[in-house]
A and B are shown apart, each in its own frame.
Chain A
Amino acid sequence: MSNLITVSPSPHVHTDESVQKIMYRVVVAMIPALVWSVVVFGFDALRVTMIAIAASVGFEYLVQRYIMKVKPSVTDGSALITGMLLAFNVPANLPWWIIIIGAFVSIGIGKLSFGGLGTNIFNPALVGRVFLLISFPVQMTSYPAPAGSGVDAVTAPTPLGLLKEGLMNGQPISEIAGNLPAATDLLMGTTGGSLGEISALMLIIGGIYMLIRKVITWHTPVAVLGSMFVVAAIFWMIDPEAYIGPAYHLLTGGAMLGAIFMATDMVSSPMTGKGQLIYGVGIGAITMSIRLFGAYPEGISFAILIMNAFTPLINNAVKPKRFGGMK
């Protein structure tokens, strides 16, 4: 075999891109946000991330090896990403066993039950997250206070939580605003929240890296953030006392994390740029309606999952521009 001449159909040259390279680039892009969360939440952040990664990779290996009886494909890096994203979506003080349950749901149900990488309809990390959010609402929404926040508080509410609570109590924005962290804090990420969502800046850095390395295209993030901005701006202009400004919405509650890292998941997002725009606008609109009118202060996870379900439909409806016109 070794010295026989190879024959194969054309083409005979191929890119040096590979699934692994793409996946590891996503991992690299998440590192700034991870580093920042360690700075803010201390060693706990690293602990949660490590447990989530180990559990995801482990479950992927075990399920593929012993239940699906296929060659395990853990080296492709997709389980690693799922683990990291799951960790990014939970509070830094989450007990280890909840993380493991989350990883199991992500990998086992969100990914492998659909057939594994490439065939899952929903973003696996989000399936895990939403499952945890519904099953363990208390643990999932009590966020540790960021280090150096001055107060010795054990938990800190998220900005969006504060906002929702204030509005529920009938306070106008101008009153609540005093309690809310400033926009610069949100950008840097010195507020309460899930592990990876706190610093918009770090997430944007990661996003730019992915754009440059051609892992993602601009369509999805721009559509998500753009539509959120527009919806928020409209309501804010109608009544600035009842609705907070659009910039605030973009910087809080995982909007960046969702738009840059989770909505852009290649497997569960549409194939064409146009499709991604529709998908992104859908996510933005649903997120905003949950935030403004729903019971949860935060909604991007649900929005992404809902739009994931529409992805096959969008793929069918939105075709790339064909050469030679449409027939």
Chain B
Amino acid sequence: MLKTFKLGGIHPPENKFSAGQAIQIAELPKVVSIPVAQHIGTPSVPVVAKGDKVKVGQLIAKSGGFVSANIHSSVSGTVAKLDLVPDSLGYPKQAIIINVDGDEWLETIDRSDALVKECDLDGPSIVQKVNESGIVGMGGATFPTHVKLVPPKGMKAEYLLINGVECEPYLTSDHRLMLEKSDEILVGTCLLMKALNVDKAIIGIENNKPDAIRLMTEKASKYKGIQVVPLKVKYPQGGEKQLIKAATGREVPSGALPIAVGCVVSNVGSAFAVYEAIQKNKPLFERVVTITGKSVQNPANLKVRIGTPVSELITAVGGLPEDTGKVISGGPMMGKALANMEVPVTKGTSGILMIPAKEARRNEVQPCIRCSRCVSACPMGLEPYLLMTVAEKNLLERAESERIMDCIECGSCSYTCPASRPLLDYIRFGKSRVGALIRARKN
């Protein structure tokens, strides 16, 4: 019996078209616009000004606080301006716009492909280096990694979990990374273990990626303390809490962080970034992005510089298909629909997905028939139909006591509802209102 989490979960069609495509390097864009808020937490503070020359890997914005991350230039060239640029939601956010000129890297970066295993840094210096390199959770949550590596006082990490689940349909960037950079990911994992001072690491991979499981298991046997755990395919296994439950059987209590049960979760992409940062001295300025869709000519996994406009990636896979009705940044379950194709790729962009028009629109909303499918799909054991109603009626106290704040916004409920009810839309809205209420109560 393969392991998985117990409550809820769904099985959306996988559609992983680009799984067989090796990672290619995307063409350098002419202009990049690098937002200063690419992570959860305080936005970074720009340290360059208009007209400055920058090299690849140079620090351009400094972390703005503890929960924040450095940002490095992904290209070499001249800073054209600091300006407001629409983010993926369409709201203007500060960004550094750089005109690309050649591809000149900082000399300190080791650009060779050779695997470096040894590292004589101690734990705190690794954390320090991770912090300096601006590494964040690359599965989409973009939580700064160095913060996770320093457990709050009185808590001790026991397990490091590396998330290779990639439960979102369509996306394959983590899958490819595990196939092509398995050793690097494992070394990165060792470094993270050292930073956290733990001796057990689990790499969770869903068994729709048997090649990755085989390769990683084989390679992991050479590293001490790392175990690869194949998991039964079920969405949202990539959710932190679900992954911990599936891999270790522990259940993160409501409202607590994974560290409460001695676990720290990191994405394979982040593990790879940690490897590069520490062994190759290369800060985080590029990432693998899956560009795919049912009518896309050549779905691909591209290594993309942060700040590249999404439209250029779409051109790289043969242009926007005629029948496109929706473009999504991220996966189809939790990604954001884009209104503007010029938005830049950020540290959290795991994929660009083009959905044909006939699938883009939702079906007509019907009354809830109390079929309870949403209840059985919810991985958090909530009652989405009820949460939607109380959120709609603005019954915030009731929503709170029905544990609306536990919702991980996985979208399983909206996915599964036969009446096409906008469950998560309202739940998210209710969450923001209840969140404001809780904050107001604290002050």
Contact = CB atoms under 8 A, between A and B. Distances in A.
In-complex A–B contact (CB below 8 Å): yes
Contacts of B368: 118
Contact of A14 (B253, B339, B362, B379): B362
Contact of A13 (B324, B359, B363): B359
B7 to A, nearest CB: 5
A15 B256 CA distance: 32
A319 interface: yes
Interface string B353-365: 1010101111100
Given A6-B326, A323-B381, A324-B406, A267 B12 contact: no
B370 interface: yes
B198 interface: no
Interface in A234-268: 266-268
Interface string A314-327: 01000111111101
A160 B415 CA distance: 46
A135 interface: no
B325 A6 contact: yes
A29 to B, nearest CB: 15
Interface stretch (B41-49, B199-207, B307-315, B330-338): B330-338
A266 to B, nearest CB: 5
Interface string A1-23: 00001111111111101110110
Q: Which DSSP category, helix, strand, loop or mixed, fits chain B's interface?
A: loop
Interface in A272-308: 272
Nearest to B418: A17
Interface in B258-300: none
B123 interface: no
A327 B256 CA distance: 12
Contacts of A319: 381, 383
Contacts of B361: 6
B415 A11 contact: yes
B101 interface: no
Contacts of A11: 332-334, 411-412, 414-415, 424
A112 B113 CA distance: 70
Contacts of B245: 323
A76 interface: yes
A117 interface: yes
Interface residues of B, number: 66
A8 B332 CA distance: 11
A22 B420 CA distance: 13
B367 interface: yes
B334 A10 contact: yes
Contact of A118 (B169, B367, B406, B409): B367
Contacts of A266: 369-372
Contacts of A6: 325-326, 337, 357, 360-361
Interface in B228-256: 241, 245, 251-256
Given A14-B414, A15-B416, A272 B355 contact: no
Contacts of B369: 19, 22, 78, 117-118, 266-267
Given A76-B366, A323-B380, A10 B372 contact: no
Contacts of A119: 367
Contact of A12 (B332, B378, B406, B409): B332
Given A19-B419, A327-B254, A12 B241 contact: no
Interface of A: 5-15, 17-19, 21-22, 73, 76, 78, 116-119, 266-269, 271-272, 315, 319-325, 327
18 contacts: A5-B325, A6-B357, A7-B337, A13-B333, A13-B355, A14-B363, A14-B415, A17-B418, A19-B369, A22-B418, A117-B367, A272-B372, A320-B7, A320-B381, A324-B241, A324-B254, A327-B255, A327-B403
